[in-house]
Amino acid sequence: MTEDQLNTGLLLYIPYRSLENRVVQALHDAGYRDITTAQMKIVQRIGPGGTRLTDLAEQAQVTKQTAGFLVDQLEKAGWVERVPDPTDKRARLVRISGRGADALPIAAAAVAEVEAEWATHLGKRHLAQLRQILGKLREITDPYA
């Protein structure tokens, strides 16, 4: 299929999925073999101070039960921890743990490597235009922006 035969959503998804796979591979290569793509969808949505499970589920577009299962796995592997929410003593936050924090620079380096390849392939000007256009599109597509 050519670009004109694929819908825009799929054209956006294919490069994202490639980037996601490269990040998982970089983590696996660095010895973090216990992280999955599904778990990464949760980890990448955890804010600096932690995020409630219900918010993670909503942002990852999975059920609360699925998010809870993934967080349980991540917690057992030492990627995240559950801590009390300082704004609501009944609630808990999911926060990146020490092991997870150690892995974040590896993931960030993989993202930077992919973006550098994209800049080489597209040219820096085109990549900047793409980022600007996607930022504009985010205004109407990202309720968490």
pLDDT tens-digit readout, 65-90: 999 999 999 999 999 999 999 999 89
* pLDDT over 70 percentage in the chain: 99
Q: Tell me the whole-structure pTM to 2 decimals.
A: 0.87
What's the CATH number where 45 sits? Answer: 1.10.10.10
Range scoring the smallest mean pLDDT among 2-16, 42-56, 116-130: 2-16
- pLDDT of the residue at 6: 92
Tell me what pLDDT residue 144 has.
79
DSSP code for 78? T
* Model pLDDT, residue 125: 97
Q: Which residue has the tokens 């942002």?
A: 59
**pLDDT given for residue 4 in this prediction:** 76
CA 117 to chain centre: 19
For the cut 80, the answer to whether the pLDDT of residue 3 exceeds it is no
Domain containing 15 equals 3-141
26, 107 contact by CB (below 8 A)? yes
Give the whole-angstrom CA distance, residue 39 versus residue 9. 23
Number of domains in the chain: 1
Q: What is the DSSP letter of 61?
A: T
List Cβ<8 Å contacts ≥24 apart for 33-39. Answer: 34/77, 35/77, 35/79, 35/103, 38/70, 39/70, 39/73, 39/74, 39/79
